[in-house]
Amino acid sequence: MQQDNGAPQITVLDAGGQYCHLIARKIRDLGVSAEVRPSDTPASELRGRRGIVISGGPASVYDSGSPRIDPAILDLPGTAVLGICYGLHLMAHELGGGVRLGDKGEYGTAVLHTARPHPILAGLNGETRVWMSHRDLVETPPRGFEILAATEECPVAVMAHSERPLIGVQFHPEVVHTEHGQDIYANFLFGICGCTKDWDPRGRIPRVEQDIVRIAGSRNIFFFVSGGVDSTVAYTLCLRALGPERVYGVYVDTGLMREGETDFVHGVFSRLGATAFHVEDAAAGFLAALEGVTEPELKRKRIGEEFVAVQERILSSGNFLDGHWILGQGTIYPDTIESGGTAHADLIKTHHNRVDGIQKLIDSGRIVEPLSSFYKDEVREIGRELGIPEPFLTRHPFPGPGLAIRCLCAERDEPATRVDDGWILPVHSVGVQGDSRSYRKVLLAPGSPTDAGIHSLATRLINNSREYNRVVVDCSGWPPETPLTISRSSITAERLHRLRCADAIVRELSAASGFDRQVWQFPVILIPAGTPARPDSVVLRPVHSVDGMTAESVAMPPSLLDEMRRRVLEIDGVCTMLFDLTHKPPGTIEWE
């Protein structure tokens, strides 16, 4: 049961962290009601909560304008407070402790060494793996606090007040890569806050369908579908809620899709019972919109704007603008949070369904997004409840902008630069470090993707540098006689064909070997690094994740890697094949 006043037991205060809503979801998964509210919510509005969690965020507590809390929440009677990452810094800062910029960052896996026991660490042994994403750190805990645990780079990884229920952790227990993260939340909820189970996450479909009916009213829904899990589940929910006669679907073939994708999508929606479904060939317009574009944010915006233009053209070709239709989308929560969708969140990358044109539709009330509160794993669970076949639900995610964001470009010719740790490739990729967007170069390090400890080495190299946010190694031996050179390039039909061929090879061999079932996603990226005769290189990016908010780079069997390399290097214009060792954070799953 919820508390007598109808309020949830736990409130998560949003300081702009990429994982803020993931915290609330993890708490609900443990059967406890939780909500998300702005970080500066007055303490008077939070009386009676059993616990408050202050999220992470991209800011620094010593900067002007950074998110703040009402200090009175730290003194609410009967309310425990847990600060996470920036929340830890904020708690220390408000109570008189010292916070400073660390000598180097700490991103990805770290080992937590427990110094003394505490209920928040109950059940954890002396060492445990945790997930870090920070550069600031607590240098001096406030008066009355004890240091409970540390990592190699962070002297105050866990602290707690000796008498009051105030706890702070530097790492992120909400992400799947913190191995005892859910135990830590359970310790906080039941061992410290005294919560009781009052939340059942099942039965979400009726509530979502009710929302669809409420938002649509008497209007029909017009859906632009991609054939991915998100848009297909959202489309199916609308079919169930309104019936097939009120839901119209269009698949836009952008010319940026994988080999055979259009035929696959058409077959899927035919089996779903979609009676009104159309394929629109728009490849020429998208290629024209991307001509000469090299910057990733501009690339995404051009794609989004072209989507809107195609949508408006299709909508205006029928009766879809007469007030009887609204737009449906398969937007999920990471799309909005990575686009700066909460008050203090940093923009990591603009998603194609959050550009200005789409936002205008949202603002005018002409849109329904049934999945906007859910994460990828939850969407799959909903799909299972809907009876969508399992092979489709476990299909790897594929970005809405298609191969365009996996085909990297460069403004000018520029050679690689030799450094102590390898070669700096002057091609930039997007990262997320300390909840902030980074856009940095790539380190091509010596070694092989099959070397022992190579992923840990990559993490250490990134933590020690501000010049690059991603580390790759060459799959064909290092060093080459001629260093790779970045060549001036944009998206062309020739380069897209090159990438499409490489992607098809990787998918074919991954499926045949069963490796595709061992990873969550396997992007294949084309970068303009090579020689004049072979100007591009292919990057493999197999990762393990649950919800897309964090991810680990996954090692591949040597025999599979060798066969991929052999066939990829047969593609005309491909110089070599690289392997991305970078976790998320500090690198995003996609490169753009």
Q: Shortest CA distance to 267 belongs to which of 253, 277, 257?
A: 277
CA distances, 57 to each of 74, 88, 105, 166, 243 (Å):
19, 11, 15, 19, 42
CA 258-260-266 angle, 5° bins: 110
The helix (run of H) or strand (run of E) holding residue 185 is helix 181-186
Let me know if 407 is a catalytic residue: no
329 strand-pairing partners:
none
Active-site residue, 172 included: yes
Q: Which of 153, 174, 338, 369 is the catalytic position?
A: 174
**Amino acid, res. 588:** T
Out of 172, 177, 180, 351, the active site residue is 172
Residue 290 tokens, joined: 């991307």
Dihedral (C-alpha) 189, 190, 192, 193: value to the nearest 10 degrees? 60
Sequence-distant (≥ 6) Cβ neighbours of residue 210 within 8 angstroms: none
Cis ω on the peptide bond leading into residue 483 (within 30° of 0)?
A: no
| CA-closest candidate to residue 158, choices 115, 122, 97 | 115
Question: What span, in angstroms and rounded, lies between the C-alpha atoms of 352 and 372?
Answer: 14
Among this protein's residues, is 455 annotated catalytic? no
The two tokens of residue 327 are 């737009």
What b/e sequence results for 533-568 when a residue is b if at least 16 CB atoms lie within 10 Å of its CB, and e otherwise? eebbbbbbbbbbbbbbbbbbbbbbeeebbeebbebb
Catalytic residue among 20, 85, 154, 238: 85
Task: Based on DSSP, count helices (H) and strands (E) in the chain, helices before strands.
Answer: 15, 26
Q: Which positions are annotated as active-site residues?
A: 85, 172, 174
